[in-house]
Amino acid sequence: MEWSECDGGASGAKGAEPARGRFRTPRKWLSAVLAASVCALSAACGVAAEGKPSARSIRVTPHDEATGVRAADPLEVSVREGRLERVRVLRKGDAQRRALPGRLSGDGRTWQPAEEAGKLALASEYTVDVVALDGNGRRTARHTTFRTQVPEHRFIGFFTPEHRQTVGTGMIPSIDFTRPVADRAAVERAITVRAEPSVEIAAHWFGRSRLDFRPRTYWRPGTRVTLDLRLRDVKAAPGVYGVQHKRVHFTVGRDQRSVVDAARHTMTVLRDGAVADRVPVTAGAPGNPTYNGRMVVSEKFDVTRMNGRTVGFGGEYDIEDVPHAMRLTDSGTFLHGNYWAPKSTFGSANVSHGCVGLRDTKGGSPGSPAGTFFRGSLVGDVIEVRGSDERTVAPDNGLGGWNMDWASWRAGSALR
């Protein structure tokens, strides 16, 4: 999903908001001086955009976020110029995380599934990650998702995290249903989450299509968690029945939590309770501050595109090769590498559209502050922001349930 509420400047957010994808209203840019420092909109962004490969040159069929894709529909990746370096298509929930086998055309510009791949699986979600090279060897990337058709009058749940994944201590198992659930109690009874060692785990509904589970406090490292989806033949609404019977296991890894002090422009990394690192950062500018509160890493991308048009910022930024990006909210807050801002920005100024930026190099350096943090992070790690002028992130914006007290969380179960 190639969008973010970050800007192309020195870096790059629900309560009463919609459960998915809040589009923030563009705010007036602070000043020409800030504009210059943010992306060097007149220089750095222009240079980055001029003559570089464009993610728009990578065409993926089906289109990004397509739904109802039929099993026999074509799947193809192509570039207008240059060549494809890497194409990886995964079916989410696949226990072995096996990439769909494919073949490249002779000129390297087109990728299609191999014959042995067969048809797409129904009632499934696929991710497509592409890296392409232009004639000068410069890379650009594209990440898309699509969902295949769910048979009429049937429903399934798309779940997070992945089967057999090792996650951080803040992971909140979350299920998005393909149809609105009228009988939430019946569906909730059909889903269990168990932990070894055992802890109390409670469910919370966000609207009629999303169900999250969490313990009272963060998971203990080493905990093994099992998510059981026994939805087959469960009646969710009149005439709508489940078709899914799935058991998902994941393991909780080491305990890493990071605290971003937006006022002091620093991030303190705590590993197993001890300070492991302190990193200078840049957060949201005064007109577009970063959310306060606890956010959970839900996705990691070596490189991704961030386009302001997708979150209501118009053409203020469009950066096609943002390195070391970790999603914190559904509405577009990321913690990511930043190669276009002056080194002096980090630790001294907040200049983004809401993201948290760490210093990096073009193409992403493993040894940069962003690269080091990225390599040491897991999906499920907690990033807490303090000292910002923005409100606290809503519990349904990403995996933000840790911002709700335990009594309120338990009250969200349909069985209580």
Active site members: 336, 355
Residue 389 to residue 284: CA distance in whole angstroms: 9
Query: Considering only CA atoms, which of 332, 341, 297 is closest in space to residue 166?
Result: 297
Residue 170 to residue 377: CA distance in whole angstroms: 12
**How many C-beta atoms lie closer than 10 Å to residue 66's C-beta?**
16
Q: Residue 238, SS3?
A: coil
CA atoms in the 13 A half-sphere facing the CB of 237: 14
Q: Which residues pair with 357 in a beta bridge?
A: 282, 336
Tokens 């911002």: give the residue. Answer: 403
Tokens 């210093």: give the residue. Answer: 359
Q: Which residues pair with 246 in a beta bridge?
A: 229
φ, ψ of residue 49 to 5 degrees: the values are -85, -30
- Which residues lie below 8 Å from residue 379, measured CB to CB, with a gap of 6+? 161, 165, 167, 168, 171, 297, 298, 299, 300
- H helical segments located in 141-286: 184-189
**What is the dihedral sign for C-alpha 194, 195, 200, 201?**
negative
Query: Considering only CA atoms, which of 373, 365, 362, 292 is closest in space to residue 335?
Result: 373
Residue 249 to residue 48: CA distance in whole angstroms: 42
Which two structure tokens, joined as six digits, stand for 240?
């709508």
